[in-house]
Amino acid sequence: MKVGDNLTVLEIDDTEAVLVDDAGCKFRLDLLAAKSVEAIKTKYVQTITVIDPDGGGDVSVEVRKLETGPLVGIDGSYLEQDVGPVYSPYDRGMELEIPDED
């Protein structure tokens, strides 16, 4: 795949890309280090209750508006566990900023 006027992607995966320029020089790009350190801000919209299709129980889903545009629903019990970062399903590798006060 051609990137710009003088770079071509030789290989790419979730963590790195290998590029070559027109002179034949290869470059390895760490995609994890290259990503922005900024998280996508979110705004609370509302909490809705849905039925879990597997277990049949009620699940509280927190609906949030991303600053990049789309709405997302996140399992409320997952957020309460504070198990680590939540990532955008639309913006590969981008963490969502979910304020505690929401």
Contact 96, 82 (CB under 8 A): no
* Per-residue pLDDT at 86: 92
Per-residue pLDDT averaged across 35-43, rounded? 80
* Per-residue pLDDT at 97: 93
* Per-residue pLDDT at 9: 86
pLDDT of 35 > 70? The answer is no
Sheet holding 86-87, edge to edge: 71-75, 58-66, 40-51, 95-97, 86-87
pLDDT of 64 > 60? The answer is yes
Contact 19, 3 (CB under 8 A): yes
Residues with Cβ within 8 Å of residue 61, at least 6 apart in sequence: 47, 48, 49, 50, 73, 74, 75, 76
Judged by phi (left if over 0) then psi (alpha if -120 to 50, else beta), residue 26 lies in: beta
